[in-house]
Amino acid sequence: MEHVKPDGLEQSPPISVGDDIYALAARLFPIRRSITGDGVRRTLDVLSGHVALERHEVPSGTQVFDWTVPKEWIIRSASITGPDGQRVVDFADHNLHVVNYSVPYKGILPLDELRPHIHTLPGQPDVIPYRTSYYAPTWGFCMSYDRVSQLPDGLYRVEVDSELKDGSLTYGEYLHRGKTEREFLLSAHICHPSLANDNCSGLALLATLAKHLAARETRYSYRFLFAPGTIGAITWLSRNEDRTHLIDHGLVLSCVGDAGSPTYKRSRRGDAFIDRAMAHVLGHEAGAKVIDFSPYGYDERQYCSPGFNLPVGMFQRSVHGTFPEYHTSADNLDFIRPEHLADSFRILSEVIDIVEGDWTPLNLVPKCEPQLGRRGLYAALGGQKSQDATSMSLLWVLNLADGQHSLLSMAERSGLPFREIAAAATMLSDHGLLGDA
């Protein structure tokens, strides 16, 4: 890629960005979503108010590698009525009350025959679990264990007014065009209903990031993908296989709004530029973690499958499956906070700054240190026990600018933040001491 020296790194995002992301997540939270259907389309309608999405409809039955696009699921209502005529559970009260993709059913059952169709979490007796049956046709309900334990014996009227029909799978994408066709892919799953952290937070953050990036001139092109989990990513890869060679960097986002420490999961490659950039940024974050790739998780599994092996990692805060709110009704709007969403936004912004701002300089005065004092770059600090960050950044850049080290390499070697190294390189370049390698 042709080197384009950045004019300067983006300023820290405003604090209010967290409020904006939270407000968008709150709008997305009540929408009934699944891997197909009008809930996905309504979600894309909301996101389209923030970023100009291109929408794609892929017909049911379409072969996508070893998978087939499923029938579209329509859910109108679902309920259980007890022996006393009172509603025990009603889908209208909470989107998690019905097993996602439940087939239609209507009948009267005794409690002992109904129980196998009711999912609970005895270890968390006051929450509703989230369950799906995308590829194994069945019907079912999800309820709190406390509520189910109070049900009396007797006959229960069950109604699931749903439909599986030939329709389509829907996904949306937005391409922010940069100076080159080389791409940074940012992906979030759009299928989970009424789970705030997983993944209203990821959808809202990506839409907000795309909106901010739209006003910025970049050298990379940035592709934002909002697709159903697993089958959506597989479908996108199937339809875009001839363009995947353009992807130089990628991130999957989920669970980015809770109070947990930021966590990055490396790509399958393990040493891709995105792995290094994320590790560098999180290396300056208290409590942050970088974990190795594993073939379990979100859509990084598809992007990192051996036939593609794309440089795509995953960014989250609390690791999926490790916090008690995960895939339950406790993953609500109280579980995510604007300040954590803003922090996640800031981290991603810093990573984009590295992707945009990295270049390999060459010291034009390589024999001994150039005299920085007469250029106004270096205070007369001789004899002091320490040097300030700016001075150390200047010295590190001059020493490592041998044409073999990029700015990120310098930041990794020095332990200094990339932004300080980049600022020093700009100062030295402006004073005629650095050129392109």
Q: Is the link from the previous residue into 199 a cis peptide, with omega within 30 of 0?
A: yes
Same domain, 215 and 253: yes
Q: Which two tokens stand for residue 57?
A: 């409809």
Are residues 186 and 300 in contact, defined by beta-carbon separation less than 8 angstroms? Answer: no
99 and 77 inside one domain? yes
User: Could you give the CA distance from residue 25 to residue 14 in angstroms, rounded to a whole number?
Assistant: 18
Domain boundary residue among 100, 134, 165? 165
pLDDT average, residue stretch 159-169:
98
Largest pairwise CA distance in the chain:
92
Say yes or no to pLDDT of 8 above 80.
Answer: no
Structural domains counted in the chain: 3
Domain-ending residue, one of 334, 357, 380: 357
Spatial separation of the C-alpha atoms in residues 239 and 433, rounded to whole Å: 48
Shared-domain flag, residues 241 and 332? yes
Q: 101 with 178, same domain?
A: no
Percentage of the chain surpassing pLDDT 70? 94
Domain span holding position 422: 361-436
DSSP-assigned letter for residue 105:
E
Helix then strand count (H, E) for the chain reads 12, 18
pTM: 0.94
Q: Do both 266 and 352 map to the same domain?
A: yes
> Is there a binding annotation on residue 94?
no
Contact 202, 21 (CB under 8 A): no
Give the integer Cα–Cα distance in Å for 131 and 219: 42
Domain match, 404 and 287 both: no
Q: Is 327 annotated as a binding residue?
A: yes
Clarify whether residues 258 and 136 are in a common domain: no
Q: Is the dihedral of CA 192, 194, 198, 199 positive or negative?
A: positive
Q: Can you name the residues that pair with 252 across neighbouring β-strands?
A: 187, 314
Predicted confidence band at 6 (pLDDT cuts at 50, 70, 90)? very low
Residue 7: pLDDT above 50?
no
In this structure, the number of other CB atoms found within 10 A of the CB of residue 88 comes to 21
Confidence band, pLDDT 50/70/90 cuts, at residue 437: confident
Domain boundary among 130, 165, 200: 165
Taking only the tens place, the pLDDT of each residue in 382-435 is 444 445 767 899 999 999 999 999 999 999 999 999 999 999 999 999 999 999
254 vs 89: CA distance, rounded Å: 29
pLDDT tens, residue by residue, 245-267:
999 999 999 999 999 999 999 99
